[in-house]
Structure 1
């Protein structure tokens, strides 16, 4: 849909897509490396339609527990989930892993839809872009150091 705000961050990681995928989809370990996201009540299997619940802690009024539905799961290439309030503000968050120079080009993006999408996302665009870039850096650090 044209006109929907999209936030994107790209990180090159010196690990294979399989290695990146393993960390990216180990939802139980997010609290150990992700700066703002901690998953709760982990399902035993992740497939399209799986419900995920996560605690978001950014230090803002948007902090809280959120539910997401997995809409795409293609190991080790692409993961996407969706959540929000239908017709008001919904985000489709995706992660794409592509082989690049012996490592992985990791692209994290989120497309926002709904009546409040533009007025909610645009004023916070630069802060959101930096946040997403920090998530890629944290994933890269986790793969490089294990921490």
Structure 2
């Protein structure tokens, strides 16, 4: 079984500016209401540490592995709860230059595993949307 969340927003900015905000992890606590902390190197195969706070939900910490890092285009990681296969989440940030002074920012996650059926993704989706709006506000300054 699998569940997927996809959110997107159009940002009046450049891919460079959006990417620089998105990958400046030290500043996440000052602006990001959903991913409140992210530490580690964004190199394929490396582990990072991610703290999230879904609106109305408990704070959680994950240690996913970077799957893909294409500067100004895509960042993806895969995390598991306890053991791979029980509850796994593949998270992606995607940037598309619309070549009209705007960037399409997509944030998505695909959840798979034995316990996915128990998961209600609404709070996580709400967190994505909050983060997207804050990223837009910063990048459009």
Common fold, TM-score beyond 0.5?
yes
For residue 7 of structure 2, the aligned residue among 5, 9, 12 is 9
Alignment of 1:118 with 2:114, yes or no, is no
- Among residues 55, 60, 82, which one is paired with 2:57 in the alignment? 60
- In structure 2, the CA distance between the partners of 1:112 and 1:130, relative to structure 1 (3 Å rule), is same
**Residue equivalent to 1:108:** 107
Q: Which segments of 5 or more consecutive residues in structure 2 lack a partner in the other structure?
A: none
- Following superposition of structure 1 onto structure 2, how do residues 68-87 of structure 1 map, counting pairs within 5 Å? 68-85=64-81, 86-87=84-85
Give the structure-1-normalised TM-score.
Answer: 0.84
Gaps of 5+ in 1: none
User: How many positions carry a matched residue from both structures?
Assistant: 137
CA distance in structure 2 between the partners assigned to 1:28 and 1:13 by the alignment: 22
Contact 2:13 2:101 in 1 (8 A): yes
CA distance in 2, matches of 1:140, 1:27: 16
Give the aligned CA root-mean-square deviation in angstroms.
1.7
